[in-house]
Amino acid sequence: MAEELNPFKIAQAQFDEAAEKLGLEPAMREILRWPRREYKFTIPVKMDDGSTKVFHGYRVQYNDARGPNKGGIRWHPDETMDTVRALAAWMTWKCSVVDIPLGGGKGGVTCNPKELSNGEKERLARGWMRVAARELGEHRDSPAPDVYTTPQIIAWMIDEYEVIVGRNHPAVITGKPIELGGSQGRGDATARGGIFTVREACKKFNIDPAKATYAVQGFGNAGQFAATLHKEVLGGGILVAVSDSRGGIYCEKGMDPQDIVKWKLENRTVITYPKADKKISNEELLELPVDVLYPAALENVITQKNAANIKCKISCELANGPTTPEADLILHKNGVHVIPDFLANAGGVTVSYFEQVQGTYNYYWTLEDVRKQLDEKMTSAYHAVYDMHKEKNVHMRVAAYLVAVKRVADAVKLRGWV
Ligand code: NAD
């Protein structure tokens, strides 16, 4: 049978397995395997050539039993309602696993940002906000960045929202530039949170992260910071490979992460980086025998086709949904320690939550405070999941689901929905 690659079907299958293990009653299963609300809208945008193009936009509010919905906005050519639903489900479990008082949401636009001018991006950002604004608010649903939505795009969105409501309202959207009420430490929070979980995992497996080899697939926000922070926070490491949408590069003796980031920013790709030994494909990168692999691009890159060839010791899933359920079983059998996506990349939403708190009381924390609180949240979430993995003898993703789904189900029960 062909492997299921629809992210929402995968999210539901992962949930079903946890629901079965938790013995959830049928009505609880039904309410937790679907979004509570979803919006699909059209966004007309005046293009630079004078024509009008109609884009398709989405917002899904998955579950707000534990707190207001929260989740990023993704701009991508392959965006569909089902990718947004899956990401909204994962946001729900993510906020729960790190125990912050938020529910899950997600939004998106089907578009190719690489083909849009800055003016067109601004009109699209403002257009998305004009349609979605009525459903948003820090006590209802609050967006954030995701793939290809930059701090500048978020800045246009917060400006549009504040024009609509007629007052300053910073907590409605996070990932803002610092000058507009963003939090210290938000830029690298996703990767930093993942690095904290890798630090804890290395202790469990007696790996010295300062000597560990590592590879990063996807060299955007999450991947670039993973590359630099592995070195900075974990005291070293040997970065042997990185990739972006155009392919990857490999260097056996290791590469300087800061230098590759600089190259990527100046040349838009890593594949022309001159200090690598050779070019490799994204597929080859995933199969390298490294201590730590950071999948930091998109969904479904580790499937039943290549899972048996994955040779890393730890896979820290900064991307959402990089591993299919079939692949999970193979990785588990082969002893690969997976730090599952909604745990590994929860640092972003954790600092987004800190940003919302700061915006609400209009008092801002120091960078040191943010990092300390992030470390505490991520470390305690990793250990809660690891302990569940040992206690129930299940792989790490199932363990993360057991921790997260139980908390959401308890909140649903207390509210009397089921
Ligand atoms: P980004 O847009 O900054 O970067 C994406 C990177 O992936 C780019 O370098 C792009 O070239 C590369 N890429 C695209 N297609 C690829 C392919 N087929 N193979 C290899 N590389 C490819 O996005 P980001 O914010 O870094 O997000 C990356 C992943 O991390 C996504 O799954 C996202 O949902 C997840 N994530 C991001 C955050 C965050 O705060 N940025 C938080 C949680 C999860």
Q: Is 218 in the pocket of ligand 1 (CB under 6 A)?
A: yes
Q: Is 219 in the pocket of ligand 1 (CB under 6 A)?
A: yes
Rounded to whole angstroms, the Cα distance separating 383 from 168 reads 39
Q: Is 245 in the pocket of ligand 1 (CB under 6 A)?
A: yes
In the predicted model, residues of the chain with pLDDT beneath 50 are none
**CA 224 to ligand 1: nearest atom:** 26
Domains observed in the chain: 36-170 (3.40.50.10860), 189-344 (3.40.50.720)
**In this structure, are residues 85 and 91 in contact, taking their beta carbons and an 8 Å threshold?**
no
Q: What pLDDT shows up at residue 4?
A: 83
DSSP state at residue 170: G
**CA 299 to ligand 1: nearest atom:** 32
Rounded to whole angstroms, the Cα distance separating 222 from 295 reads 9
Q: What pLDDT shows up at residue 160?
A: 98
If you compute the radius of gyration of the chain from its CA atoms, what whole number of angstroms results? 20
Q: Of the candidates 191, 41, 36, which has an alpha carbon nearest to the alpha carbon of residue 107?
A: 41
**CA 74 to ligand 1: nearest atom:** 34
Burial code (b: 16+ CB inside 10 Å, e: under 16) for 171-208 equals: bbbbbbeeebbbbbbbbbbbbbbbbbbbbbbbeeeebe
For CA atoms 267, 269, 272, 273, give the dihedral sign: positive
Please name the residue whose Cα sits nearest to atom 29 of ligand 1.
Answer: 319
Q: Is 244 in the pocket of ligand 1 (CB under 6 A)?
A: yes
How far, in Å, from the CA of 116 to the mean position of ligand 1?
Answer: 18
Q: Is 152 in the pocket of ligand 1 (CB under 6 A)?
A: no
Rounded to whole angstroms, the Cα distance separating 281 from 244 reads 10
Q: Is 325 in the pocket of ligand 1 (CB under 6 A)?
A: no
Q: Is 345 in the pocket of ligand 1 (CB under 6 A)?
A: yes
Structure tokens at 398: 């199932």
C-alpha distances out from residue 49 to 32, 56, 66, 118, 327, Å: 45, 20, 46, 13, 46
Pairing mode, strands 37-46 and 104-110: unpaired
Q: What pLDDT shows up at residue 1?
A: 66
How far, in Å, from the CA of 93 to the mean position of ligand 1?
Answer: 20
How far, in Å, from the CA of 60 to the mean position of ligand 1?
Answer: 20
Please name the residue whose Cα sits nearest to atom 8 of ligand 1.
Answer: 220
Q: What pLDDT shows up at residue 223?
A: 97
Q: Of the candidates 58, 45, 44, 55, which has an alpha carbon nearest to the alpha carbon of residue 132?
A: 58
Q: What pLDDT shows up at residue 383?
A: 98
| Active-site residue, 278 included | no
How far, in Å, from the CA of 216 to the mean position of ligand 1?
Answer: 11
**CA 321 to ligand 1: nearest atom:** 32
Q: What pLDDT shows up at residue 314?
A: 98
Rounded to whole angstroms, the Cα distance separating 2 from 353 reads 39
**In this structure, are residues 59 and 74 in contact, taking their beta carbons and an 8 Å threshold?**
no
Indicate the helix (H) or strand (E) that contains 195. Answer: helix 189-204
Catalytic residue, candidates 70, 94, 106, 176: 106
Please name the residue whose Cα sits nearest to atom 5 of ligand 1.
Answer: 220
Look up the pTM and report it: 0.94
Q: How many alpha carbons lie under 13 Å from residue 334 in its C-beta half-sphere?
A: 20
Q: Is 318 in the pocket of ligand 1 (CB under 6 A)?
A: yes
How far, in Å, from the CA of 43 to the mean position of ligand 1?
Answer: 24
Which SS3 state, helix, strand or coil, does residue 51 take?
coil
Q: Is 190 in the pocket of ligand 1 (CB under 6 A)?
A: yes
**In this structure, are residues 112 and 144 in contact, taking their beta carbons and an 8 Å threshold?**
no
